[in-house]
Structure 1
Amino acid sequence: MVWHAIGLMSGTSLDGLDICYARFENTHEQWSFKILNTATVTYSGIWEEKLKNSIYLSAEDLLELHSEYGFYLGNATHKFIYQHQIKDIDLIASHGHTVFHQPGRRFTLQIGDGRALQTVAKLPVIYDFRSQDVLMGGNGAPLVPIGDELLFSQYDACLNLGGFSNISLKKNHQRIAFDIAPVNIVLNKLAQRLHHNFDHNGDLARTGKTEPELLTRLNALPFYQETYPKSLGIEWCNQHLFPLLEKPDVRDLLATLTEHISDQISQVLNEHRIKSVLCTGGGAYNAFLIEKISAKTSTDIIIPDQEIIEYKEALIFAFMGVLKWNNRINVLASATGSSHDHSSGLIV
C-alpha cells in the first residue's frame, strides 16, 4: 500500500514552519519513504512575537491565537500545494506549536486548530498528537521514535538537536527515548543578545571562554539525574536555566552552554554504548557543538543530507498521520512512559 502525506512541524526554536510532502509504502510489513517536496516558511516578526509570547496570553486570547494559527497553517499548506502542483495527497498531519507542556499536571498544548487548517486545505487533517499520551500518564514526548523505529532502524540511535535535544535508541529490544538538554532554545536566545538570529556554525561560542563554575551548576541541574522517560519544556528553562544566564559576556555564556550540552549528550552516548548515531535538527549545523560531542565519545556521528537534517521531524509527523489514518500504533509507551502503545491524533 502507498500513501502520500504532508507533515507540518513548528519547533520551539521558532525558526519557522517546516512542511514535508512524502510518499510512504508498506510492503510485507516493512515501511519505506521518499521525500518529494519540502519548504520552510520563515515566521514574520509579528508571528514570531505572537508565538513567543503565547505562554503569557489570557485564556480568551490564547483561544483566538489557536484558531488564527490554524488558519495560518491552512494557508501555508494551501500555498505549498499550489506552488509544487501537488495532486496526490491522502492527508495532512500537523504537530502545531507547543505553548504549554506539563505532563506532570496531565496537560500539553499545541496550538493551531486542525479544524481551521482543514477548512482552508479541504483535505483530511490529523492533529493534536500529544494530548492523548499525556492523559494516559505519558510525557507526550518524544513522539518521533516510532519513525526512528520503522524508517531509520539502520542506526543505533537517532539524535535530534532542535530547540531541545532528544535521543531514541533500542534497549532490551525496546525503543526508548527521552529529552537530553536544551539546545537551540537557549543558544538562539543568547545569540540574539548579540543581534544574530542564531550562532552560525557555533562561531560565537568558539570565541568565548568556558566558565567552570557555571558549567558545574548547569551539569548539576536535577533533571539530568532523573531516569527516562523524561521531557523538557520552555517552563523548565524559565524556572531552572535562564536565571543562571545573567552574566553580561554572552560569548562566554555560549561557550559554556555548548560545553554543557556536549557533556550531557556525550554522556548519554557513552552510557548506552552507541556505535552510530544519526544527527538531525538545526544543531547538526553547529560545527563547534558537533566537534565538542565528537571529542568526548567514540560514537560515529552521522550528519545526513540537508532534507533529512531539516525535515526529519515533519516527515515523521506525516508518517504518524498515515499510521493514525490506518489505526496503527504511532506512539511507543517505552519512549513516552504512557500505560501502553497507542494510536494518537484527532482526525477532521
Structure 2
Amino acid sequence: MDTSYKVIGLMSGTSLDGLDIAYCTLTYNDENWIYKILHTNTLTYSDILIESLRDIENSNALELIRLHHSFGEYIGLQVQRFVQQHEIRPDFVASHGHTIFHQPEKHISFQLGDGAYIAANAGLPVVSDFRTLDIALGGQGAPLVPIGDALLFPEYDYCINLGGIANVSYNQNGKRLAFDICACNMLLNTLANSVGSAYDNNGEMAEAGTLQPDLLQQLNAPAYFSEPAPKSLGKEWVLEHSLKALAAHEAPVPDKLHTTCHHIAVQIKQALPKLHEGQHRVLLTGGGAFNIYLVTLLQEHLGEQYKVEVPEPEVVSFKEALIFAFLGALRWRGEHNCLRSVTGASQDNIGGAIYLC
C-alpha cells in the first residue's frame, strides 16, 4: 500500500470568509503520520456568492440542487487553476463542502458542493460527503477533525479551532473526545460586518468596548452549553440563540464584540477538563486565533495551568483544509476517519464518497 499521498484539501467555513485550498503531502512512516503544507490559497467569495450561500437554506429544493451543482463546478474550476498555477500533480482532492443544514437530531446534515461536479471540472478524483455515513450510523456527523488532531498534532493536550464555530478535541481515558463549544467567528464577523468591516482586525474594536453583563448572561444561558458530549452546533442553532440575542441588544457594536469575546472565553474554559498534573498545552487555530484580544482574554481566563499556543500562520489558517486532506487519505486507504467516541455513532466508520475522473 502506498505510504505517501499528495492531496488538495478544501474547506469552506460557516463564517463565509472564503474557500481554503491546501496542497499537502501526507506520509505514513514507522506508524506515524507526517504532514507538509506545500501550497495554499484562500479564495474570497464574491458578494453574490456569499448572498447565495447565506440564503439558500430558505430556497426551494430545485434551487438547492442547482447551487449544489454550480458550487461544485466553481470549486472544481478553482482547483484546476490552482493546479496549473503551481504546476503540481495531486493524487486526489478532499472537499468538506459548505455546510447549509446541520440538524443531526433529525438525521440531517448537508454540505453544498457536489463532489461529482468538482471531479468533472478539476479533472481529478475527489473524496467528499464525509458526514453522511456517520449520521446514518446514529452519530452527529461532527466534529470530523479530531482524528487529524490526534494523529497529526499528538503533542498537544487540546486542539481548539476558532472558526465560525469553536470546537475542541482531546484524549481522555484512552479515547478521543470532541465537540462544538460555541459560535465564534459567526458572531464576531457578523458584528464587524454590521459596521462595514469584514472582521475585527486583531480584536481592536472588541478591546475598545465594555462588558455588558446582561448580554453575557443571555449568551451563556442556552442549555446546550451544559449538555454532555457528543454534541455539535449548526448555523440554525446559532441564528436562533446567539445571533438573536446580539441583534436584540441595544449596546453599540464594540461593546457587543467585547462581550462576545468574553462569552467565547468563558465557554472554552468551561469545556476543558483537567487531564493531568502540570501545565496543559493548548493548540489554537482558525481565523479567531488572529484575534489578539480574544487570544489574550482566553489565556487570562484559563490561567497559568494552560499554555495557549498559536502556531505559524500557515497552520492557523489551513489546519482544517490540511485535516480534510488527511481524512481523504484515510478514506483512500479504507481506514477509519470518523470516531464514534467523538460523534456518538454506533461504530467507527470510513466516511466519504469517491468520484473517479
TM-score, normalised to structure 1, is 0.98
Unaligned runs of 5+ in 1: none
| From 246, 251, 268, the counterpart of 2:271 | 268
Shift of 1:267: 2.1
Q: 2:212 maps to which residue?
A: 211
| SS at structure 2 position matched to 1:95 | strand
Q: Please list every run of at least 4 consecutive aligned residues from structure 1 whose deviation after the TM superposition is greater than 4 angstroms.
A: 270-274
Shift of 1:271: 4.8
Q: 1:295 maps to which residue?
A: 300
Question: Following superposition of structure 1 onto structure 2, how do residues 1-348 of structure 1 map, counting pairs within 5 Å?
Answer: 1-87=3-89, 89-245=90-246, 246-248=248-250, 249-269=252-272, 271-272=274-275, 275-297=280-302, 298=304, 299-348=306-355
The answer (yes or no) to whether the contact 1:107–1:135 under 8 Å persists in 2 is no
- What do the CA deviations read for 1:222-273 (whole angstroms, capped 9, x no partner)? 1101001111111001211222112231111111111111111122235556
- What do the CA deviations read for 1:84-105 (whole angstroms, capped 9, x no partner)? 0112x11100000000000000
Aligned mates of 1:270, 1:136 — CA distance in 2: 28
Unaligned runs of 5+ in 2: none
Aligned mates of 1:170, 1:324 — CA distance in 2: 22
Aligned mates of 2:31, 2:313 — CA distance in 1: 28
Aligned mates of 2:213, 2:108 — CA distance in 1: 37
The answer (yes or no) to whether the contact 1:7–1:318 under 8 Å persists in 2 is yes
The root-mean-square deviation of aligned C-alpha atoms, in Å, is: 1.1
| SS at structure 2 position matched to 1:296 | helix
- What do the CA deviations read for 1:77-122 (whole angstroms, capped 9, x no partner)? 00000110112x1110000000000000001000100000111112
Give the aligned length: 347
- What do the CA deviations read for 1:50-97 (whole angstroms, capped 9, x no partner)? 11111111110000000000000100100000110112x111000000
The answer (yes or no) to whether the contact 1:2–1:26 under 8 Å persists in 2 is yes
164-173 vs 268-277, which moves further? 268-277
| SS at structure 1 position matched to 2:272 | helix
Aligned mates of 2:221, 2:51 — CA distance in 1: 32
